[in-house]
Amino acid sequence: MASNSYMGIPREKIPWYPAVDENACTKCSTCLDFCANDVFEQGEGSVEVVRPYNCVVGCSSCQNVCPSGAIRFPDMRQFVETLKKLREEYRNK
Amino acid sequence: MKKAILICTCSFACPSMKDIDFAELSEKIRLEIPEASYMVLHPRICERNGEEMMADLLKEGVIYYTIACKPEKQEKLLRDGFQKAGVIMERDKNWVPISVQFKNTDQVFEEIERALKNGGE
Ligand code: SF4
Ligand code: SF4
Ligand code: SF4
């Protein structure tokens, strides 16, 4: 029920997921352990976002637990506008 | 002590909760667990809107069963809400976290039922 659409919009059309700053990431694994949805995996230089569409739309809690401030999310206000447009687009589909 | 249930649906969008039908779960709780004085269903109790709700709602003398992500995660994420309400969050005293991750509706319901029926008076 939950994983592949959000408010009637296919999940993979929604640009919400974390971005990891590879220069800031210390590969401490905190985010890996914290997120239940296998969004991250340990990569070469830093943790990598390997399953972005597993990220819960609107969740940004891993940002708060990263001790290095290496995780970023889209700006919420802009994102709400994007979501409004997507809803219009998918409303009648 | 009075018992209340706070269900967090994680925006109805968390892959780890995909097997839970929150509509069915909340009706089953309302109908079959009279031990709970009331229940609140919120999409994201760990963020501002949820914290404001907690600030208005939480009181001393009530046990809050929070139905959400892993207990360790809840412990980090819900502390601010309790603090805003001026209630000290004490696990298994006034706060009982129940994880719904990777479970289905029946499994979650049974766990909640067990916790409320066995939990201290
Ligand atoms: S918590 Fe931050 S620093 Fe640690 S692995 Fe994740 S992104 Fe890197
Ligand atoms: S925002 Fe939430 S769901 Fe998304 S990667 Fe971070 S912890 Fe996982
Ligand atoms: S408290 Fe947990 S289950 Fe609820 S929205 Fe936050 S991360 Fe999701």
pLDDT at res. A91? 87
- Long-range contact set of residues B25-32: C-beta below 8 Å, sequence gap at least 24: B25/B105, B25/B108, B25/B109, B28/B105, B28/B109, B29/B5, B29/B109, B29/B112, B32/B109, B32/B113
Chain A residue numbers with beta carbons less than 8 Å from the beta carbon of B101 are 36
Please work out whether the CB of residue A27 comes within 6 Å of at least one atom of ligand 1: yes
For residue B73, the ligand 3 atom closest to its alpha carbon is 2
Which residue of B5, B7, B9, B10 sits with most ligand 3 atoms within 8 Å of its CB, as the best mutation to test the pocket?
Answer: B10
Average pLDDT over residues A45-60: 96
Sign of CA dihedral B104, B110, B112, B115: negative
> What pLDDT score was predicted for residue A92?
75
Output the pTM of the full model. 0.89
Q: How confident is the model at residue B118 (pLDDT cuts 50, 70, 90)?
A: confident
Given a cut of 80, whether residue A2 has pLDDT beyond it is no
Return the bridge partners of B68, or none.
B99
Tell me the H-state helices in chain A.
Answer: 30-34, 61-65, 76-91
pLDDT tens track for B92-116:
999 999 999 999 999 999 999 999 9
- ipTM tops 0.85: no
Taking all residues of chain B, what is their mean pLDDT, rounded to a whole number? Answer: 95
Position A93 scores a pLDDT of 73
Could you tell me if B63 and B4 are in contact, meaning their C-beta atoms sit under 8 angstroms apart?
A: yes
| A40 touching B (Cβ < 8 Å) | no
Q: How confident is the model at residue B119 (pLDDT cuts 50, 70, 90)?
A: low
Distance CA B35, CA B114 (A): 11
Q: A1 vs B46: CB contact, 8 Å cut-off?
A: no
- Lookup: tokens for B62: 């009530």
Backbone angles phi, psi at B117, to 5 degrees: -75, -30
pLDDT at B121 over 50: no
Burial of residue A33, with CB atoms counted within 10 A of its CB: 0-12 exposed, 13-18 middle, 19 or more buried = middle
> Count of A–B CB contacts within 8 Å?
51
Atom of ligand 2 nearest to the CA of A40: 5
Instruction: Copy the structure tokens of residue A55.
Output: 């990220």
Q: What's the pLDDT tens digit per position in B32-78?
A: 999 999 999 999 999 999 999 999 999 999 999 999 999 999 999 99
Given a cut of 80, is residue B120 above it in pLDDT? no
